[in-house]
Amino acid sequence: MEEGKKKKGGKKIVPRKYPMPEQTPAERVRNFDEVPYGYDEATAALEAKRCLQCKKPTCVEGCPVGIDIPKFIYEIAQGNLEQSIRIMKSQNALPAVCGRVCPQETQCEAVCVLAKKHEPVAIGRLERFIADWERRQGVEAPKMEAAPGAKAAVIGGGPAGLTCAGDLARLGHEVTIFEALHVPGGVLVYGIPEFRLPKEIVAAEIDYIRTLGVEIRKNMVIGKVLTLEELFADGFRAVFIGTGAGLPMFMNIPGEQLNGIYSANEYLTRINLMRAYRFPEWDTPIRVGRRVAVLGAGNVAMDAARCSLRLPGVEEVTIVYRRTEAEMPAREEEIEHARQEGVRFELLRAPVRYTGDERGNVKAMEVIKNELGEPDASGRRRPVPIEGSEYTVEVDTVVVAIGQRPSPLVPRTTPGLKTTRWGTVETDEATGRTSLEGVFAGGDVSTGAATVISAMGAGKKAAASIHDYLLYKAGK
Ligand code: FAD
Ligand code: SF4
């Protein structure tokens, strides 16, 4: 740790975050265990003491769910851990998840006052610490408001739906989540791998939502098993749509239908939710081979690449991305972990076609080189193919991780529910209202693929509007 220097008022600034111990790259590429171990109590207290307890805490403005960051950190510094988790949970029902996967570096930590000259306070690590501390102690059952008793339905049990449901239940409503899969959690269980977010941690946070009184009905694909109209007919007064953006996008290039070319969604679902990495102990197999190419450079691509490295028989994993490192959308930490573990990066490249063997399995990928042109609508410089630069690489598996969009099932079966040309549900950002009375939406289904904390923020805002709606507009 670097030497601290005195600041006005006698407070010593420790310029760097206290490191969080983690498995070495050589160890972790052979297992699916969580990579970082987390802070112990003494280190957490030291890190908490780095916080300046600003009078105008900019970090809170950077948090989509408005956690009172200086307060929860202050209590850790004082050793009042119970008080700290209480403060945290009053705004965030999934802190162990957020502490692990939220992009703090672009949110609260990006605007931490310390970050102007030094490293910011490790807000994410402290959030994770306090949530893990509580889980080890046993989670306290929350106190509930008197119930006004209105029935609300939440479609989808991902971060948006869980947060909306939890907040509505706290406000005393009778909430049921309808989840399509056999496990709630959304991307937290089917997408993000065990080594980044252990599933028992997600399960514990979902159990907490249940203790708030939320009922979770699984294997309920809304739009197939029941429609929104039937939910209203069943006595639900308001509906929140939090169905995410789980429909994979493809490049539509020749050969994309060959065996061994997966959408990231299917690939990660097989590995994480269906535990293909433990085949034959678990009964879902996955065919990978020696060389894996992952297309894209977001968190999804990093997860697919890092999972691939850990699968038996895989020797080489390459990220193929059409722009440069500066434009990669993944979290810095994910890119760094992928590099440390041995993932190769082929930048300014894009596949143009695949060829297969006589059994229909992919065996090669033709790739073209790009250069960067003018910025496009996203503000990032557009990749421009360099004519004649094509070359061929051998591959056994390709994982397409170039984006997802919302499934059209609910809009298609809900007359009057307006969507945008990207297939997202038209939603008022401040309230979560949609084009239909009593129907609210939020998370990836409204914004397109985004982040856990933005989905939670949207779930929170929608819960507040649904509460108003149930009390003042729809009656009880
Ligand atoms: P989801 O998490 O997608 O949940 C939607 C839920 O709705 C699912 O459970 C689905 O089964 C259910 N559902 C869908 N249709 C129906 C239906 N018709 N009826 C009933 N239920 C339905 N974000 C980060 O902040 N940090 C990360 O590190 C990060 N890593 C990611 C890694 C991967 C592999 C992926 C795919 C995403 C990642 N994200 C990350 C993005 C983040 O996970 C999402 O933005 C977030 O989960 C969106 O939450 P949501 O509740 O809107 O949707
Ligand atoms: Fe602490 Fe940084 Fe927030 Fe200031 S901005 S209160 S230093 S975490």
Q: 88-111 pLDDT, tens per residue? A: 999 999 999 999 999 999 999 999
Contact of 453 with 444, CB cutoff 8 Å? no
Contact of 186 with 445, CB cutoff 8 Å? no
Q: What is the pLDDT of residue 364?
A: 98
Highest mean pLDDT among 257-271, 278-292, 371-385: 257-271
Distance 115 CA to ligand 2 centre (A): 9
Q: Does the pLDDT value for residue 276 go beyond 90?
A: no
Distance 449 CA to ligand 1 centre (A): 8
Distance 187 CA to ligand 1 centre (A): 4
Tens-place pLDDT, residues 291-307: 999 999 999 999 999 99
Contact of 41 with 50, CB cutoff 8 Å? no
Q: What is the pLDDT of residue 476?
A: 47
For the chain, the farthest-separated pair of C-alpha atoms sits apart, in whole angstroms, at 75
Mean pLDDT of 397-418: 97
Q: What is the pLDDT of residue 421?
A: 95
SS (H, E, C) 394-456: ECCEEEECCCEECCCHHHHCCCCCCECCCCCECCCCCCCECCCCCEEECCHHHHCCCCHHHHH
Contact of 276 with 284, CB cutoff 8 Å? yes
**What's the CA gap between 121 and 104, in Å, rounded?**
10
Tens-place pLDDT, residues 322-331: 999 999 999 8
Q: Using most ligand atoms within 8 A of CB, pick from 225, 307, 452 the residue to mutate for ligand 1.
A: 452
Q: Does the pLDDT value for residue 80 go beyond 50?
A: yes
Distance 160 CA to ligand 1 centre (A): 8
Residues within a 6 A CB radius of ligand 1: 101-103, 155-161, 178-181, 186-187, 191-192, 220-223, 242-244, 246, 268, 299-300, 303, 331, 407, 409-410, 443-445, 449-453, 455
pLDDT exceeding 90 applies to what percent of the chain? 87
Q: Does the pLDDT value for residue 144 go beyond 70?
A: no
Distance 187 CA to ligand 2 centre (A): 30
Q: What is the pLDDT of residue 10?
A: 62
Provide the CA 165 distance to its chain's centre, in angstroms.
18
Please report which ligand is nearest the Cα atom of 443: 1
Mean pLDDT of 425-440: 98
What is the reported pTM? 0.93
Tens-place pLDDT, residues 332-351: 889 999 999 999 999 999 99
What proportions of the chain, in percent to the nearest 5, are helix, strand and coil?
35, 20, 45
Distance 444 CA to ligand 1 centre (A): 7
Q: What is the pLDDT of residue 376?
A: 86
Q: Using most ligand atoms within 8 A of CB, pick from 53, 54, 88, 109 the residue to mutate for ligand 2.
A: 54
Residue 355's H or E segment, with its range, is strand 349-356
Q: What is the pLDDT of residue 241?
A: 98
Q: Using most ligand atoms within 8 A of CB, pick from 53, 71, 107, 117 the residue to mutate for ligand 2.
A: 53
